[in-house]
Amino acid sequence: MYIKNHLIFCCSLIIFLIKILNLLNINYNIWCITIVALFFSIFPDIDHPRSYIGYKFKIISYLLFYFFKHRTITHSLFFLFIIFNIIIYLNFFFILDLNIIIGIYVGYISHILADMITNRGIYFLWPCKYKFRIPFLYLFINRNKEFYFCIFLFIISVILYFYF
Ligand SMILES: [Zn+2]
């Protein structure tokens, strides 16, 4: 999925999240969550040298692509587990802001869900070679329709936010 579509998809998820946090009366910093989430919504594509983020971190990107290929390790449950452990490790030295942790997970999950909508799917249980795609939906969403689907989701999330 293209970077702009990932960003739009992530914004929809953030709107859903804000609604839930408001309903639960939980304090949050919307700017912190949004900035971190948007960054992590494009981060998993670091495994592709021609992606926006891969272009910025060329060496890491080429290594990941060479050893693992695209949509494998960085798009997997295994990597979410690694991030979880890094967060716990960092918390030994300084307490990480909860907004940052929420942002990381919202961004990451938004990327994984968005890629699962597309035809190419992801290897979520990497190293298992099973391709995860959202049933039926992926049959209709090709590269050209991705953008319209993301815009559609965004509009739905805004409507839900204001009317429920
Ligand atoms: Zn991806």
For residues 141-150, average pLDDT = 86
The pLDDT of residue 142 is: 79
The pLDDT of residue 1 is: 83
Task: Report how far ligand 1's centroid is from the alpha carbon of 24 (Å).
Answer: 31
**How far is it, in rounded angstroms, from Cα 132 to Cα 37?**
22
User: 67 pLDDT band (50/70/90 cuts)?
Assistant: very high
Cis previous bond, 44, omega within 30:
no
Percentage of the chain beyond pLDDT 70 is 100
Say which residue the tokens 């995860």 belong to: 132
Model confidence at 138: pLDDT above 80: no
Task: Report how far ligand 1's centroid is from the alpha carbon of 88 (Å).
Answer: 25
The pLDDT of residue 4 is: 94
Residue 123 phi/psi, 5° resolution? -95, 75
The pLDDT of residue 157 is: 96
The pLDDT of residue 80 is: 94
The pLDDT of residue 140 is: 79
Query: CB of 75 within 8 A of CB of 121?
Result: no
Task: Report how far ligand 1's centroid is from the alpha carbon of 23 (Å).
Answer: 31
The pLDDT of residue 143 is: 79
For residues 27-44, average pLDDT = 96
For residues 87-109, average pLDDT = 91
For residues 95-110, average pLDDT = 93
For residues 132-139, average pLDDT = 84
Which is more confidently placed, 136 or 32? 32
User: 91 pLDDT band (50/70/90 cuts)?
Assistant: confident
Of the candidates 125, 78, 86, the residue with the CA atom closest to the CA atom of residue 104: 86
Task: Report how far ligand 1's centroid is from the alpha carbon of 6 (Å).
Answer: 9
Q: Domain limits at 17?
A: 3-163
Structural domain total, the chain: 1
Task: Report how far ligand 1's centroid is from the alpha carbon of 21 (Å).
Answer: 27
Model confidence at 127: pLDDT above 80: yes
